[in-house]
Structure 1
């Protein structure tokens, strides 16, 4: 369980350090990273997570998957799409972005709950969190928000998925509804990953770099 707690934190910290040290400015590379994360997360969900959950309950899990998709749509009204690479906040606003934080936290806590029971899922989560952390850190760096608030946001964001892992490990009621919660998480991940892939395609033009990136992500996800 320890690795499932540590890895999401390290992923966010790494994203922050990349922005702090390298100060990336090429959006093309970030878009490729997003495409990789979207394809990898989708592949992990389809190859591993989805079959395992359907094996546990093939009757009602579809309802909860759709509920997860709807939940993510609602959350994105508040996060403005930060989960898949968009920050639509005012850079001049110095206040703590509570709506963004709460929506990202709900998503992150939920995705942490089934991690211990579906070990491959953690790899999809950390690959997804890395570009999100880079995008958040880049935005905060360019905004007028105090550095302390930005660091607090990223630190708390990093702790949300581990919190989900701990909740699943310490509250027996979670196990009663484990399959249902897993179905909701699948819906969330399907929505996020497919949106990343669709939105990373500029003007629907053929992009060999993006295509190869997606193929590599799919192959890696299949092999692990």
Structure 2
């Protein structure tokens, strides 16, 4: 069921994008702010205490590796993980670089999902607006439907695949804390970037601030 929900979050985003108009896409900023705040809160409230049960400077090193890895991936994805999509309208070939960078991100983020945390909820909330924006720009840029669906299908598989591997291969359990620390770094970078960029001129209005506060409170109460 967890795998299906993670997959359907991307499919749901595509369906919404089919009915969106460009002016309506601006309303996604509030949803993005909510998702960024929720992801950040789950990371701080649940994942950070988990990896620092036995305090070690090495954990900080792996968190920094995660941050740097995400910066490297965004060099190729151009920030699609937090709602920025840059596709060349004159080139309708399959966007391999964008696909690979997003897939690596999605694959890794599936590793720490477990019954002991609420990360799956945070990732689903994070994936829906990203999938909407990604799908919308594929559609409006004139990409073939087969290209769009193929991209989204394999992208949607990546997080469930990462979670499946983490649960079924013993070698992953040996480095569970280190891998979780890397994912924390990725989430810290992505979520704070979403919050920083979710408003024009980097200024929050009351609606977005309310969305952020509500997201933090919900994450705390879960």
Structure 1 length-normalised TM: 0.94
> Which residue of the partner structure matches residue 72 of structure 2?
74
For residues 85-100 of structure 1, the aligned pairs below 5 Å read: 85-100=83-98
> Which residue of the partner structure matches residue 139 of structure 1?
137
8 Å Cα contact 1:69/1:187 also seen in 2 = yes
Instruction: Give 1:23 shift.
Output: 4.5
> Which residue of the partner structure matches residue 16 of structure 1?
14
> Which residue of the partner structure matches residue 60 of structure 1?
58
Query: How far, CA to CA, are the matches of 2:16 and 2:214 in structure 1?
Result: 23
Deviations 1:93-152 (A, max 9, x none): 111011111111111111101112653111111000000100111011112221101001
8 Å Cα contact 1:113/1:167 also seen in 2 = yes
8 Å Cα contact 1:140/1:150 also seen in 2 = yes
Query: How far, CA to CA, are the matches of 1:21 and 1:205 in structure 2?
Result: 29
Give structure 2 stretches of 5+ with no counterpart: none
The alignment covers a number of residue pairs equal to: 222
Give structure 1 stretches of 5+ with no counterpart: none
Are residues 1:112 and 2:110 paired?
yes
8 Å Cα contact 1:92/1:144 also seen in 2 = no
> Which residue of the partner structure matches residue 211 of structure 1?
209
> Which residue of the partner structure matches residue 35 of structure 1?
33
The 1:24–1:16 alpha-carbon spacing in structure 2 relative to 1, beyond 3 Å, is farther
Instruction: Give 1:57 shift.
Output: 5.0
Give the alignment partner of residue 99 of structure 2, picking from 95, 98, 101: 101
Structure 2 length-normalised TM: 0.95
Moved more, 14-23 or 212-221: 14-23
SS in 1 for 2:52: helix
Moved more, 23-32 or 117-126: 23-32
RMSD: 1.4
> Which residue of the partner structure matches residue 173 of structure 1?
171
Query: How far, CA to CA, are the matches of 2:134 and 2:188 in structure 1?
Result: 21
The 1:195–1:148 alpha-carbon spacing in structure 2 relative to 1, beyond 3 Å, is same
Instruction: Give 1:20 shift.
Output: 1.7
Query: How far, CA to CA, are the matches of 1:76 and 1:212 in structure 2?
Result: 28
8 Å Cα contact 1:93/1:144 also seen in 2 = no
8 Å Cα contact 2:80/2:130 also seen in 1 = yes
Instruction: Give 1:26 shift.
Output: 1.8
